[in-house]
Amino acid sequence: METQTALDRRVQDCIRARGFSRLSEIQEKAIPLVREGRNLLLVAPTGTGKTESAMIPVFDAMMSKTGGGFCTLYITPLRSLNRDMLQRLEWWCRELGLRVGVRHGDTTQTERRKQALHPPDLLITTPETLQALFMGKVLRKHLANVRYVVIDEIHELAGSKRGAQLAVALERLREYSGEFQRIGLSATVGNPEEVGRFLCGARDFSIVCVPVTKHLEISVDFAGDSFEKQAAWVSRAVGRHESTLVFVNTRVTAEALGHKLYHRGDVEVHHGSLSKDVRIEAEERFRSGSVRALISTSSMELGIDIGRIEHVVQFGSPREVARLVQRVGRAGHQMDAVSRGTVLATGFDDLLESLVIARRAKAGQVEDVNIPLNAADVLANQVAALAVEYRELSRQRIRDIVGRSYPFAVAGNLVDEVCTQMAEHGLIRIEGDMVRSGGRSRRYLSSNLSMIHDERKVVVFDMVARKTVGTLDESFVVGFVHTGAVFITKGQLWRVLDIEEGRIIVEPAKKAKGELPSWEGEQIPVPFSVAREVGSLRRSRDFSPYHPGERPLEFASRFLVEMDRNRTKVPHDTLITLENAPEGVVCNVCAGHKANEALARVLSILLSARYGTTVGIEIDAYRIYLRLPSSVKAADVREILCSLDPAHLEGILQLAMKRTALFKWKMVQVAKKFGAIDPDADYERISTHRLVEIFDGTVVQKEAYRELFSVYMDVPAAARIVSLVRDGAIDVVVSPLSILGAEGLFASRDQISPPAADQAVIGTLKRRLEQQEIILACMHCRNWKSRTTVSRVPEPLRCPFCGAGLVAVLKPWEEPLIAIAKKKGKNDEERAVAQRLLRNANIVLSGGKKAVTALAARGVGPENASRILSTLAEGDGFYREIIRAERNYIRTRRFW
């Protein structure tokens, strides 16, 4: 109460008018700290009045200041949040006589001009628009007035490159405004201290934490594994409550579920692919109560106000604890009220995972936000921004500014590395210690204000039917599609005929072996910690700490009993099972998506090196599926897995990733952010293949690796599994294919090609030699000759007439030599021919099939063949010797 009465009268009036009889717990705690001028991180679930906790003291302070505008910046990650925030804050500002404005990508030119002339006291904006503010001279002047910066949903930003960019922007802002007060609003995270550092750098700050978890009531249910039953369950659940928010993990599920429940007439779908109008309409219909359920993807996770939500349904495992907490936190939406949510699990993995996540949510074991440190492309972007902002400045000053931000606090000589690379591709100029903006800097900056990669869509045009088939993501096209490539879209195979500007010309293809990569970017990875606990639950089979309902428990027990009855081992946290499947080996490893991704790629490159074959990989949180030729078995995989050294993983992965489409795509993205490639670049001028080589060994490549190894995979976690295997803490056994190993939908993924490019050359050579036509001639009885191909030569080779093994192998054009050898009364030249044939046959007699193969090669006669055989080279080495001989022949042959 004391806190409240200390505020400006007009602010107190507003609080009363807003219908708050008293301040909430978080407000009581936060307001005095903000009034004291402390930097503050507020960690609380959505809907507990976080915004007001931050803004009431800020409004209070703004009442006593007469600024020239831009006193407070309120930064949110989403435009849609700005819209919502504007509505909420507009009321306060109107009552308090403050001017408020919103500025983001959709803001009109008129509005922007107005803001430049009469800056509002409170500006609501996005990180990207903040970047744009630095570009205008007038706006920059206004930035000197900033006293408060509030960052809403900071946990969303902190974990991304957008956040790293924002952190630097705050330090650039400080150059104009001097120190300002920083307030971050965050959902529950595992590492609030570090998020605070992200907000403030090395400055002091306080954290006010409202534990979300005690207000959560989460249960897990199971309704069978058919979608029909699951949809019916959702329909019943919707019927039981006034208002329900149904979260699904993918847009496809949202659409499918929406279709099933459409007949009810009181359910709407809400996801990112729908147009803005459709989404706003759905939000409004829900708020007004005319629909009782909204089916939504992550688009509804953030604090968009859609009124009271009584119950949250999570369709399928939420994959992460943070996500479940955030989603269920949407229910209740009144301070102190309990949030109720139910997870509907859809299968065995899904059920165990849901139980684990629900338990961890209630215990407050939320995941950490992974803050990207030293992202070189973000640094490049900000160096360019600084160069444009100041025209010229010293590298020391750049180091000082970016070094104050947490993401670049320990950057070593990254600034220099980045500057050198940028000067190399002409984005900035370096003279001594000074960095100057270059001719392209400003244009680069206006098209690169955002660290979000905007994906172009490329149209796929079917040449045969002469119609558009659909669109592909640019990333897919850049990394994988080349002339002659075969890929799948709309469930059909296509072959690329031509790539034009923004368009791929294709024809239907008959067949392609192996899986083809596609990027379904909606897969939410299951963290290591969750997957490990699922593993331990599989081992203990003790469900009591998880309080499952009757149906889930019965289903899980039945599944485990069936595994036992089939005499298939249940893989768990200390047991990895390797199962031989029809087209490869399933490795059951409870390590989560990212660790499995790393592990799969390591296994695949090693298998591919050892067996000289391409290995396809598919992964999920609990298994790795290696697509292998039938000759490579689970025992072979076991041998490689058990001999891995955890210290070598990263090195192996660097090699492994270099040839993948994913890496190439990442490189292009990073190069774009570095300003080496324009957003609208015409890739067809140069193959990506070449492009990737250009950046070999540069800081661009380093950043692409950094991001791959921290965002797309978890190398340290994979190394932990490997060392547990090494120490014997995890057993690795070969086991028959189980229902668990075969479970799960495998998304098609990348392939790893064999290590040396010459593998492909050798493959071609083998095929050519096997199909090579040859003539066999017996040199013993001299009565038999036969025209055949190398592949059809029997082993051992004998003359069918006399049974001798003395058979010469000739090329078709050497056939006349046989007659010469049979002649009686030869001249010197003819005698030499006969001798050569005899020598040829002798080599075949002693060398067998290998000799036949060698003699079938281009320009390889008895001399060369015996030299090749004498090297005793086997397998690939043998073929390499043949290649060498052919090369030599071609170089020197007469008929050039």
Partner 1 sequence: MRLDFLETGPALLVEENLRVLVAGDLHLGIESDLSRHGLHIRSRSRQRKERLLSCIESSSPDLLVLLGDVKHNVPLTSRQEFQELPGILDALRSRVPITLVPGNHDPGIEKFFHEGEILSKTGALIDGVGYIHGHTYPDPSLQGHLIIAGHHHPMISIRDEVGCALRAPGYLLAGVDDVCLQFPASSERETGETRVLFIPALNELAGYDIIRTAKEPFSPLSRCMKTEQSEVFLADGTFIGPLGSLEDHGDADGA
**Residues forming the site for partner 1 (CB under 8 A):** 424-427, 440, 483-484, 486, 495, 509-514, 516, 613-614, 616, 675-683, 685-687, 689-691, 693-694, 751, 753-754, 757, 759-761, 763-765, 767-768, 858, 883, 886-887, 890-892, 894, 896
State in angstroms the smallest separation of the CB of 657 from partner 1. 14
In angstroms, the Cα distances linking 76 to 66, 202, 710 are: 25, 23, 25
Give residue for tokens 């500007």: 501
**In what side-by-side order are the strands of the sheet with 467-473?**
467-473, 457-462, 503-508, 492-500, 486-489
CB-based contact 704:666 (threshold 8 Å): yes
Q: Closest separation between CB of residue 187 and partner 1, Å?
A: 39
In angstroms, the CA 893 to CA 896 distance is 7
Both tokens assigned to 800: 């069918």
Least distance from partner 1 to the Cβ atom of residue 795, Å: 24
> Prior bond to 552 cis, omega within 30?
no
Quickly count: other Cβ atoms within 10 Å of residue 22's Cβ: 10
Choose between 213 and 437: whose C-beta lies nearer to partner 1.
437
Distance CA 77, CA 69 (A): 22
In the complex, what is the shortest distance from the CB of residue 690 to partner 1, in angstroms, rounded to a whole number?
A: 5
CB of 457 to partner 1, least distance (A): 18
**Least distance from partner 1 to the Cβ atom of residue 82, Å:** 32
Give the nearest distance from C-beta 408 to partner 1 in angstroms.
Answer: 24
CB 568 within 8 A of CB 735: yes
CB of 263 to partner 1, least distance (A): 45
Angle between helices 592-611 and 715-726 in degrees, nearest 10: 70
Question: DSSP state, 708?
Answer: I
Q: Are 464 and 507 in contact (CB under 8 A)?
A: yes
Strand positions, DSSP E, 522-666? 575-581, 584-588, 615-619, 623-627
CB-nearer residue toward partner 1: 356 or 384:
384
Our CB check for partner 1 shows the closer of 30 and 769 to be 769
Nearer to partner 1, 99 or 495 (CB): 495
25: left (phi > 0), else alpha (psi -120 to 50), else beta? alpha
Q: Closest approach of Cβ 653 to partner 1, in Å?
A: 18
State in angstroms the smallest separation of the CB of 896 from partner 1. 4
| In contact, 299 and 285? CB cutoff 8 Å | no
**Closer of 375 and 615 to partner 1 (Cβ):** 615
Q: CA 130 to CA 123: how far, in whole Å?
A: 10
DSSP string, 509-552: -S---S------TTPPPPPHHHHHHHHHHHHH---GGG---HHH
Q: Which three-class secondary structure state does DSSP give residue 773?
A: strand
DSSP 710: I
Q: From the CB of residue 242, how many other CB atoms can be counted at a distance below 10 Å? A: 10
- In this complex, which beta carbon is closest to partner 1, that of residue 495 or of residue 702? 495
Which of 55, 762 has the CB closer to partner 1? 762
Angle, helices 550-565 vs 348-362, to 10°: value is 130
**Order of strands across the sheet that contains 244-247:** 216-222, 339-345, 311-315, 244-247, 293-296, 267-270
- Please report how close the Cβ of residue 503 comes to partner 1 at its closest, in angstroms: 17
Query: What are the angstrom distances between the C-alpha of 745 and each of 254, 483, 492, 592?
Result: 18, 30, 19, 15
Q: State the nearest-atom distance from the C-beta of 797 to partner 1, in Å.
A: 25
Nearest distance in Å: CB 747, partner 1: 17
Contacts 24+ apart (CB under 8 A), 835-842: 836/861, 836/862, 837/777, 837/779, 837/808, 837/810, 838/779, 838/806, 838/808, 839/866, 840/779, 840/808, 840/809, 840/810, 840/865, 841/777, 841/778, 841/779, 841/806, 841/807, 841/808, 842/806
Is 338 within 8 Å of 332 (Cβ atoms)? Answer: yes
Structure token digits, residue 297: 């993807």
Q: Which residues of 142-176 are buried (b: 16+ CB within 10 A; e: fewer)?
A: bbebbbbbbbbbbbbbbbbbbbbbbbbbbbbbbbb
Whole-angstrom distance, CA of residue 400 vs CA of residue 565: 66
| Phi–psi pair at 880, nearest 5 degrees | -65, -35
Compute the distance between CA of residue 593 and CA of residue 680 in angstroms, rounded to an integer.
33
Q: What are the residue ranges of helices labelled H in 310-437? A: 321-328, 348-362, 376-390, 395-403, 414-424
Residue with Cβ nearer partner 1 (288 or 892): 892
Q: How far is the CB of 756 from partner 1 (least distance, A)?
A: 9
From the list 57, 51, 11, the residue with the least C-alpha distance to 31 is: 57
State the minimum distance, in angstroms, from the CB of residue 766 to partner 1: 10
State which residue, 422 or 537, has the beta carbon closest to partner 1.
422
Output 328 or 624, the one with its CB closest to partner 1.
624
Closest distance to partner 1 from the beta carbon of 516 (Å)? 8
Q: Are 633 and 735 in contact (CB under 8 A)?
A: no
Q: How far apart are CA 101 and CA 70, in angstroms?
A: 9
Q: How far is the CB of 682 from partner 1 (least distance, A)?
A: 4
Nearest approach in angstroms of CB 791 to partner 1 is: 15
Q: Judged by CB, which is closer to partner 1: 375, or 860?
A: 860
CA 130/CA 134 separation, integer angstroms: 7
